[in-house]
Structures are given as structure tokens and as C-alpha cells.
């Protein structure tokens, strides 16, 4: 397993795609902070707390980042017929699946750490600061990241499963988006249409415990550790369910 993981790390870090994507994302963060610096120079007052709070509201973008990291690691293996070579070589399919997922997770965490650290450093050095508010801002960021992490991992497992089960990377992306972005809206709307029936509480419960909904609410309930614990439970359920489905489906899949 470790040899396979090292080989996957070697491949993903040798790709220009990985580094270009990271540089572009960091440049966009720099552009955002530069815009605030420009407005501050013209009479505005954007401070570190505002910048940190903005980070918390943008954490849902991490769900879309799972599409990016899965694409980096999977690298069109069905299209390029390299998956067939790995299977023909005799590698257990569970090792292939879990090895790629571990690398996807590691790359995602690396991107998260670099991007969050870079953004907060820019805000710290270039925006107005208030010692009292700065401490509150860091507590908010810490809570939001701790809540977001398991939800990101759960959605990553969903995206990884679709990449293995669907031959086309494009359709795998679309299927994953339908699950973690569109499904919550569908459930929420369905809850409105059923009225005061016995199905309404079930749909409301499912809607409130979808990863996107939980993460959107996180900045507004900072310090609610019960909600943070629920996020870890939901993330663990998504991880277990989609990993089991992905491995089971990949074992039965005919590789052409």
C-alpha cells in the first residue's frame, strides 16, 4: 500500500496541473486582499476580522475543490486506459481505491493549509487590526475549519466514489455536484411541498444535516460544539457510506 501511495504522490506532484492550480488559487486570494487594500487607501476600513469572517463564509468552496483534487489524482485513468494496466498488473482493487483516496485527501489538506495560511497572512499584514477583534476572528476561523474538515472529507469520499464508478470525469463531476449541491435544495423544497405531514420532520432533518447546509450555518453558531460534533458524525457517515459503495462498485466494474 505504501509503495502505491508514494507512486501516486510522485505522479500528482510531477503534474504541472497541480502547481498551476495552486498558484492560480493563491493569486485569486491575493487579488481579493489587494482589492481591500486599495479600498482602504481610499477611505474604507476593512480589517482583519472582516477578512477572516469572509474566509469562513467561503469555506463551502472547499466542496468544489474536491472535484479539483480528485481530477488531479485520478488523471483521466479510464480515458487513458492506465487503470486497466494497474488492474492487469495484479494490484488489489481495494488498494487502488484506498491509495488514491489517501492521496486525494493529503493533497486536499495541503491545499487547504497553504491557501488558508496564505490568505490569513495577507489579511494580518495588510489590513487594519484590532487586538481584541483579532482574537475573536481567530476563534471563529478555528471553529469553522474544525467544523468544515469532516464535511469536506465526507464530500471528498463522495466525489472519489463517482470518479471510480463513472468512466467519464465530466459525468463523475456532475454526478457528485448533484449529490452534495443540488440534493440539499431538492430536499429543502420537497419539505415545503409536503406540508404538515409526517414526512416533513424527516425531510427537515435530512436537509439540516446535509454538509453544505451545516457548513453555511457554521460561522453563525461559532462556539456550538454540539453542532461541531454533529458535523464530525455526518462526515464520518458520508465517508463510510461512499467509501463502501465506491469500493464495492469498483470491484465489480469491468475495466476496458
* Residue 13 backbone class (left: φ over 0; alpha: ψ -120 to 50; beta: rest): alpha
> For 152-186, what is each residue's pLDDT tens digit?
999 999 999 999 999 888 899 999 999 999 999 89
Rounded Cα distance between 104 and 42, Å, is 43
Which residues does the chain have with pLDDT short of 50? Answer: none
What is the SS3 assignment for 243?
A: helix
Q: What is the pTM of this model?
A: 0.91
What pLDDT is recorded for position 256? 67
Q: Which residues pair with 128 in a beta bridge?
A: 47
CB neighbourhood size of 30 (10 A):
14
What pLDDT is recorded for position 86? 75
Half-sphere exposure of 181 (CA within 13 A, CB side): 16
Rounded Cα distance between 231 and 228, Å, is 5
What pLDDT is recorded for position 33? 93
Amino acid at each position: 500500500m505504501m509503495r502505491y501511495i508514494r507512486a501516486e504522490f510522485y505522479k500528482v506532484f510531477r503534474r504541472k496541473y497541480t502547481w498551476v492550480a495552486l498558484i492560480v488559487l493563491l493569486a485569486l486570494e491575493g487579488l481579493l486582499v489587494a482589492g481591500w487594500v486599495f479600498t482602504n487607501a481610499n477611505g474604507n476600513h476593512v480589517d482583519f476580522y472582516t477578512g477572516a469572517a469572509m474566509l469562513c463564509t467561503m469555506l463551502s468552496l472547499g466542496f468544489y475543490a474536491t472535484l479539483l483534487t480528485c481530477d488531479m489524482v485520478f488523471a483521466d485513468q479510464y480515458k487513458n486506459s492506465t487503470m486497466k494496466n494497474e488492474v492487469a498488473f495484479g494490484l488489489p482493487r481495494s488498494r487502488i481505491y484506498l491509495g488514491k483516496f489517501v492521496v486525494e485527501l493529503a493533497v486536499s489538506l495541503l491545499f487547504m493549509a497553504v491557501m488558508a495560511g496564505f490568505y490569513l497572512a495577507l489579511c494580518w499584514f495588510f489590513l487594519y487590526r484590532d487586538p481584541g477583534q483579532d482574537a475573536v476572528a481567530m476563534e471563529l476561523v478555528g471553529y469553522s475549519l474544525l467544523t468544515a474538515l469532516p464535511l469536506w472529507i465526507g464530500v471528498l469520499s463522495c466525489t472519489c466514489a463517482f470518479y471510480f464508478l463513472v468512466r467519464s470525469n465530466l459525468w463523475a463531476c456532475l454526478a457528485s455536484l448533484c449529490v452534495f449541491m443540488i440534493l440539499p435544495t431538492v430536499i429543502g423544497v420537497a419539505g415545503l411541498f409536503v406540508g404538515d405531514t409526517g414526512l416533513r420532520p424527516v425531510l427537515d432533518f435530512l436537509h439540516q444535516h446535509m454538509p453544505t447546509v451545516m457548513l453555511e450555518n457554521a460561522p453563525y453558531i461559532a462556539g456550538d460544539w454540539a453542532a461541531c460534533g454533529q458535523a464530525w458524525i455526518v462526515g464520518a457517515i458520508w465517508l463510510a457510506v461512499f467509501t463502501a459503495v465506491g469500493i464495492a462498485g469498483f470491484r465489480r466494474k469491468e475495466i476496458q
